[in-house]
Every structure is written in structure tokens, then in C-alpha cells.
Amino acid sequence: MQQIERYTSSARWFHWVHVVAFLWLALSGLLLFGSWFGFTPVGIWIRIIHRVGAVLLLGAPLLYAILHIRKSWSFIKEAFTWGKVDLEWVKAAPGYYFGNDKTKMPPQGYINTGMKLFRLCILLGMAIFIITGLILWFFKGTVPPEVIQYSLLLHDIAFILSICFLFIHIQLAVLHPKMDEGLLSIVDGKVSAEYAKSHHGLWYDETVKNGK
């Protein structure tokens, strides 16, 4: 079966480094969130451990952005490019994801509306995590206490929401029967032509036109 490249090897590396950093931070963050670290061998090292993850989470996208400026820029631009077709997608999505009804789904480009939404959430969430995280790390005692207090609140809210989106991401990338090539594509970078045609019709046409 014909295979089409969907993710470059550096994009895949970036994805999985981000996964490790995110889970590292989420798990150590959950211990802080629930005040459970005292019962784990982690104990008072929890802050250091959390910060190791933070360096990875901030470092990986910076490195990727330096190495692939144009791709990074289009990653951001795509997330903010919205049109009428996105509204149609939103209307048709429940029927598709619950009822296998593909007839009303408008053909999608490289990423669909749901993925765009997810990208926006990642960009916003990362911004909140990084800004409030840096404040909590470096500015205690030097900024007014209210800044620390609300940074902590925002950091918690971003955490709560990002776990919600993590569940949805895993559902749609790994578990949902319609996305049967999702996980494999971010591992070996390729999807079948058939999958590309049915999930990302516009992108498939473009790719074929470009003779890839």
C-alpha cells in the first residue's frame, strides 16, 4: 500500500520529548497538587524534580524552533487560520465521532479543525505554564505577593485543563477506531494513502499534485 510521509523525524522526536517532559511535569505536579509527595520517596526533592521537567518542556520547543524556524512559524500560523469550513466541521463532528457518519464532514487540510483547536490550547497552555512557572521559580519575594498568589492559581487552572485535553488527545490519536493510524504515524512518520485521502482530503490532493 502506498505510504505518505506525514511527520518528519525531527517533528516525531520533538513530539515524544514533549510527551516525556509533559508527563514528567504532570506526575510530579499531581503529587504537588494533591500534597501526596510526602508519602512517596520523592519527599522534599519534589521541587527539584519538577524543575528538571520544566527545563525539558521549555528547552525542547526552543531547540526545535531554532532548527526549524519556518515549520515552527507555520505551526503557529495554521492554528490561527480559521474559516467557514471550520464551522461546518464543528457541526458535522459529533455525527462523525459518535456515529461514523462521514457524509457531512468537509474535506480537511493537513490539520483539521479539532487539531487546530488543540494546537491553540497547547500554545495558550504552554504560555501560561511557562510564564507563571518562571514567576514561581525565580520571583518569589521580589514581586508583590499577589503576583505569586495568582500565578499559582493560573498554574493550577492550566494544569486542570491540560489534563482534560490530554485525555481527549489520547482518545482521538490512539483509542478511537476511526483514527487507527494516528499512533503509528507519529512513530514511523507515515500514513497510508487511503487514510490520508479520507482524513485529510485537501492535504492528500496537494501532496499528490506536488508529486510526492
Residues that bind another protein (CB under 8 A): 32-33, 35, 37-38, 43-44, 46-48, 97-100, 140-141, 145-146, 148-150, 152-153, 156-157, 159-160, 163-164, 167-168, 171, 175-178
**Position of cell 516525556?**
20
Largest CA distance in the chain: 62
CB of 44 to another protein, least distance (A): 5
**Position of cell 497510508?**
192
Q: Which is nearer to another protein, 80 or 137 (CB)?
A: 137
CB of 2 to another protein, least distance (A): 25
Q: Which is nearer to another protein, 83 or 138 (CB)?
A: 138
Q: Which is nearer to another protein, 113 or 162 (CB)?
A: 162
CB of 208 to another protein, least distance (A): 29
CB of 82 to another protein, least distance (A): 24
Q: Which is nearer to another protein, 9 or 171 (CB)?
A: 171
Among 195, 209, 201, 198, which residue's Cα sits nearest to residue 4? 195
Residue type, 64: Y
Q: Which is nearer to another protein, 43 or 59 (CB)?
A: 43
CB of 80 to another protein, least distance (A): 25
Q: Taking the chain, what is the end-to-end CA distance rounded to the nearest angstrom?
A: 15
d(CA 42, CA 37): 6
d(CA 169, CA 164): 9
Q: Which is nearer to another protein, 11 or 166 (CB)?
A: 166
The DSSP output letter for 5 is E
**Dihedral, CA of residue 22, residue 159, residue 168 and residue 115, to nearest 10:** -70
**Position of cell 521559580?**
137
d(CA 23, CA 18): 8
CB of 156 to another protein, least distance (A): 6
